[in-house]
Amino acid sequence: MSTPVPVPYSESRSLPPYRALFAVDAKDFTGLPAVQHGPVSQLIPELVDQALEHAGLHELRDSKRFPANTGDGVVFGFDPALLPFVLWPFLGVLDDILGAYNRQSVGPRIRLRASVHLGPLPDADNPGDGNGTARNDTHRLLDSRPVKAIMAAASEEVTHLAAVISERVYEDVVLSAYTGLHPDRCVEVPATVEGKNFSQRAWLYVPSPSGNLVQAGVRPRDEAAARGSESTEREQDPVARPGTRYSGNKQHVGEGAAVMGNVGRDVTYRGGSTSYRGTNQHWGSGDNVKGDKQVGGAGGDR
């Protein structure tokens, strides 16, 4: 006999247990030849488990809740007490594992987008476990414009993983200092999904930035969190850097990419608006970077 569907607001019910959620999917998976879909689909959870093991998260690897292979990735729930360790060091270790694999592989590169979220979800060893708003939002974050734009702009040789962290996780785990992931390594973004009624504030973390991402303030893991006063003053003073083409510290871009600082590689943007204010960065669906924009040749300003 099927379980009756509850009527909303007809009575009070016990809240389901809170579960943390982790999901990944592969960049450009659908562009692979069909013959590679099956092997890559099997490889992704193997790489994730390998990273969990190397990060010392054996408990999580063996106790995933409602795990699912999505074809181009995986998703699973876990005990929220482990969230600090998933953010740090697991995400960095996963990036290292992917980098090592990509450097020696003769097959397609595996570059992943990841999302981390938290919320109440049914978890009673029933077929419908893990389904709910928190699960839906985890996948929306994974498909959001900022994380896709980052992976499109980054070097495939260096940046193998980009993670989007929900505001709830960021506030409860990162700002509360329960994790080794420093807030300065995260960039605030408006997470929206084209064609979906979804809009949330979220935070991007890129373990191994490359090219214009470094200039954007998404710093490498091994860089010190504190900056010297001299470099800070130079970042804030456009006159101190030769060739700087902006005035003040505020840009509004109606359609395009806001670029500040030195960028030595092409920047391609397609999407909505992007703005930059002071030292905080707000990304829409394009690239927002600090530095001189040096793209194209003669007449190559974009």
Q: What mean pLDDT do residues 102-131 have?
A: 94
Residue 211 has pLDDT above 90, yes or no: no
Tell me if residue 151 falls in helix, strand or coil: helix
User: Minimal CA–CA distance to 188: which of 172, 170, 173?
Assistant: 170
pLDDT tens for each residue of 238-273: 333 333 333 333 333 333 334 333 333 343 334 444
**Residue ranges in the chain assigned as alpha helix (H):** 34-54, 58-62, 83-85, 91-104, 133-142, 145-153, 167-169, 212-215, 229-236
Q: Give the model's pLDDT for residue 32.
A: 83
The mean of the pLDDT values for the chain is 79
Sheet hosting strand 274-277, strand order edge to edge: 250-253, 274-277, 280-282
Structural domains in the chain?
Answer: 18-212 (3.30.70.1230), 229-293 (no CATH)
The 10s digit of each residue's pLDDT in 47-84 is 999 999 999 999 999 999 999 999 999 999 999 999 99
Q: Which pLDDT tens digit goes with each residue over 161-187?
A: 999 999 999 999 999 999 999 999 999
Does position 284 have pLDDT exceeding 50, yes or no?
A: no
